[in-house]
A = this chain, B = another copy of it.
Amino acid sequence: MKRVTIKEVAAKADVSYQTVSKVINHKVEVLPETAERIWSAVEELGYRPNYTARSLRSQRSRTIGYTWSPTPHGLTNPILDQFLQSMFLTAEQSGYYLLCFPYHEENERQLQVYAELIDTGRVDGFVLSSVEYNDARVQFLLEREFPFVGFGRSDDEALFPYIDVDGGVGVYQSVVHLYKGGRRQIAALAWPEDSRVGNNRMSGYFNALKDCGLPINTHLIARGAGNYEFGYQACDEFLQLPRSLQPDAIVALNDYMAMGAMAAIQNKGLVPGEEIAVTGFDDNPIVQYLRPSLTTVQQPIWDIGQKVIEMLVYQLEEGKLPDPLCTLIPPRLIVRQSSQPKTDTGKE
């Protein structure tokens, strides 16, 4: 007998499949009549959530699929190795292996690979990273009702298990740290506004300014490619502003932009961390060796790799969604020379 899918339930109840998923997992309250329509459809069609069904299958691959967006040329992914090793080791402890496959920029092509891995029974579940708004993979896996856990969030609408770093908390800490060091004109080097990770981090910037009683100066917010060149150019433009409008601190959403900003400051004959403080994000292991060493935000990446696998293995073994469904982990500010208090002379 063909299994009833959540889509059929949604069609019969005339709601979205996300709503069905939320209601049957008791994750949201909806209008009583909507709930009744959904439960009636569930009953009439004989729908049974797939997680349970899957866990009862005898033929399991004990394999977890994973791919990730490759680092652009000329950059490194400073957390990749630790994240992978942590996942491999945690998976092994539960008797699972990771199957890795190529990342395809083009959605259609990428989804084909996910479909093939599911259809050939090669994997029992997926880990997704770099989850973005309207992520096609999330929609696809929800529709297929195939187990997965995200490292990173998507829309608020999409309900699925994930773990994420609360980047906003990290940037909030950076801004407050700079404020306590006497900085009052705190600029931001950010990604474009369609970046989910970027917006999460920037929320910390805006919240911190507010809590410190500082105004939002739009001329101190630059958005662009998250690389060294953009950081350099944007900071260089800040330094061409009239003196009173120039920043005395720069919060960059990643280490590369921070390094570019430091170089622009140095090329004006100024010392980063003295006249203008700079902070980054990621704690690329190399930035501790910069001169001045870079204050930055560090993600607890080993814990994340462990947790993401534990959440997925729980689904696969127990046949139900992890509780809590989602976990947010705060990152940690690492203070170094590039963000000294304003009155400090900058000597070691």
Contacts and interface: CB of A to CB of B under 8 A. Distances in A.
Interface of A: 63, 67, 70-71, 74-78, 80-82, 84-85, 88-89, 92, 97-103, 113, 122, 228, 256, 259-260, 263, 266, 284-286, 288-291
B286 A263 contact: no
A82 B285 CA distance: 18
6 contacts: A77-B81, A84-B100, A88-B101, A97-B100, A256-B289, A284-B286
Nearest to A78: B76
A84 B88 CA distance: 15
Contacts of A78: 76
Number of copies of this kind of chain in the complex: 2
Contacts of A100: 84, 88, 97-100
Contacts of A113: 92
B102 A89 contact: yes
Contact of A97 (B85, B99, B285, B291): B99
Contact of A81 (B80, B82, B102, B263): B80
Contact of A284 (B76, B84, B99, B266): B76
Contacts of A77: 81
Q: Would you list the 9 A-B pairs with minimal beta carbon distance, nearest first?
A: A88-B102, A89-B102, A70-B85, A71-B81, A286-B286, A98-B100, A76-B285, A74-B285, A77-B81
A82 to B, nearest CB: 8
A99 B74 CA distance: 27
A92 B291 CA distance: 43
Contacts of A263: 289, 291
B76 A102 contact: no
| Centre residue among A101, A113, A228, A289 by max chain B CB count within 10 A | A289
Contacts of A266: 291
A97 B65 CA distance: 10
Given A88-B100, A88-B101, 11 more contacts: A74-B285, A74-B288, A75-B285, A76-B78, A76-B286, A85-B103, A89-B102, A92-B101, A97-B101, A98-B101, A228-B289
A151 to B, nearest CB: 16
A92 B84 contact: no
Nearest to A93: B102
A299 to B, nearest CB: 14
